[in-house]
Amino acid sequence: MHPFILFFIRAVLGVAIATLITRMFRGEVSTAYVAGLAALLVGLAYVLEYFRKRKSR
């Protein structure tokens, strides 16, 4: 899969899950919290992918 498409899918899912988590724990959806949490989730996805690929070599 093309890296940009993979990033786009991860970004969309990250925003959706971050919105859900922010809504559950804060009761309101704030753009700053959603953006920060989405960036964290997408970053963690790339870090975990790196470790998974490194281990399989």
pLDDT in tens, 25-46: 998 999 999 999 999 999 999 9
The residue extents of the domains of the chain are: 3-55
Per-residue tokens: 22: 């922010």
How far apart, in whole angstroms, are the C-alpha atoms of residue 42 and residue 20?
Answer: 15
How far apart, in whole angstroms, are the C-alpha atoms of residue 53 and residue 38?
Answer: 23
- Mean pLDDT for the chain overall: 93
Helix axes 3-26, 31-55, angle to 10 degrees: 130
Report yes or no on whether pTM surpasses 0.95. no
* The predicted structure's pLDDT at residue 4: 95
